[in-house]
Amino acid sequence: MTDADPIEEKAVQAEEDVRFDEASPVTGASRIEAAYSAEDGGQASVAKTGSTGQVFTQTYLPWTGTLNPRWARNWAVYRHHILGLVRSGHRPWPLLVRAYLVLVLIGSVGDIFPVLLGSLFGDGIGEVFMISRDSLYAHVLGFFPRNVLYYPVVTALIVGTMISEDRLNGTSALYFSRPITRFDYVAMKYLAAATILFILCVFTLFIYYTVEVLAMGHGWAWIVDTFPLLLGATVAGMLLVVTYTSLGLAMSSVSTNGFFPAIGLLALVLGSKSVAFLVALLFEQDVLYLLSPYDALANVGQALIGTESNYDIPWTWSLVSVVAMNALSLFLLANRVASMEVTRE
């Protein structure tokens, strides 16, 4: 027998030791007794005594548990954004954003303070702020400060990183690896952004109306007379919420950072307003107001509430413009979310 025979015997013995069958299942570890090297002409050489290795098996089994219902999964996405404003464990909103939202909320309900003073002291105090067509219109569509400092800025801060952050960090892989459809993903993020804007714009409108009814002691006759105005202002506010949210999320879906969507939305709302105003002032042409989200909403809102119109173009044209803006924004949003992979992009 040659000198290589003991080595071959050890290699055969090692192979028998690591052979597994039903009688000897895989335990996860085995001793490495032999290895083959090209330098030795393919001959087996004995490894160091006591060397061990791990045997890994990958077995994919179907999920046999019970999934939460669809509403529970959607609620998890929704509360991830909403509850992050008031408690930890959810989306970490920056402190400055939270502080600004508090200031905007105080400013949005600022109409009630002159009303309360008027109810206490009378003599016409706060009469300008009492419920009327102009005051209701100003609450939801007033240009300064609501549609300069409040609603567009809040929308930009909220939606700027809502989808672009998922593209940047690959968070979409966490969403779409679960039984969450892309429609539910978009719907819950849309609802989360719209909820915050709804509270600041429309919910505060109902607070304003209710406070005057209670503070001034208005009767049912007054409520019947002014309730149609409240409904018109509510519809106008809802159009603003939907339009700003659609535009903001569409811009967020085409970017991988939060700066471009925020600046883009502010530039679209405020920049188009400024350009349309200058063109109308210099050339007496109002057609660019149809391309301005704020002016199109303002023209429709004035018709809904019944206040004096500031535009020469028909409000129906502005309504068509608002519908077209929302349709194009939702189309872009749907296409961009459909292109998101279940990996980091």
Residue range 302-323, pLDDT digits in tens: 999 999 999 999 999 999 999 9
Residue 122 lies in a domain: yes
Instruction: Print pLDDT tens along the chain (345 aa).
Output: 455 555 555 555 555 554 545 555 555 555 545 444 555 554 545 444 455 555 566 676 777 778 889 999 999 999 989 998 888 878 889 999 999 999 999 999 999 999 888 888 875 667 788 999 999 999 999 999 999 999 999 999 999 889 988 887 777 777 887 788 899 999 999 999 999 999 999 999 999 999 999 998 899 999 999 999 999 999 999 999 999 999 999 999 988 888 899 999 999 999 999 999 999 999 988 999 999 999 999 999 999 999 999 999 999 999 999 999 999 999 999 999 988 766 444
Alpha carbons 331 and 130: distance in angstroms, whole number: 41
Alpha carbons 146 and 247: distance in angstroms, whole number: 18
The verdict on 49 and 74 lying in the same domain is no
- Report pLDDT for 41: 54
The verdict on 27 and 162 lying in the same domain is no
Residue 115 lies in a domain: yes
Alpha carbons 84 and 285: distance in angstroms, whole number: 46
The verdict on 37 and 172 lying in the same domain is no
Residues of the domain holding 95: 70-338
Q: Give the distance from CA 196 to its chain's centroid.
A: 10
The verdict on 217 and 306 lying in the same domain is yes
Residue 35 lies in a domain: yes
The verdict on 40 and 163 lying in the same domain is no
**Helix ranges (DSSP H) in the chain:** 5-17, 70-82, 95-108, 112-121, 133-141, 151-159, 164-169, 172-176, 182-198, 204-216, 220-253, 259-266, 272-283, 293-305, 315-338
The verdict on 110 and 14 lying in the same domain is no
Check: CB of residue 290 under 8 Å from CB of residue 117. no
- Report pLDDT for 344: 47
The verdict on 143 and 171 lying in the same domain is yes
Residue 277 lies in a domain: yes
Residue 161 lies in a domain: yes
Read off the DSSP letter of residue 129. Answer: G
Residue 177 lies in a domain: yes
The verdict on 178 and 262 lying in the same domain is yes
The verdict on 143 and 248 lying in the same domain is yes
Residue 59 lies in a domain: no
Cα-based torsion angle of the residue sequence 162, 165, 169, 172 in order, rounded to the nearest 10 degrees: 40
Domain count of the fold of the chain:
2
The verdict on 109 and 195 lying in the same domain is yes
Enter the tokens of residue 92. Answer: 């970490």
Find all residues with CB under 8 Å of 173, minimum gap 6, and list them: 342, 343, 344
The verdict on 46 and 157 lying in the same domain is no
Could you report the per-residue pLDDT of 141-165, keeping only the tens digit for each?
999 999 999 999 999 999 988 998 8
The verdict on 87 and 36 lying in the same domain is no
Alpha carbons 193 and 321: distance in angstroms, whole number: 22
Instruction: State which H helix or E strand residue 44 sits in.
Output: strand 44-46
Alpha carbons 288 and 285: distance in angstroms, whole number: 7
Residue 33 lies in a domain: yes
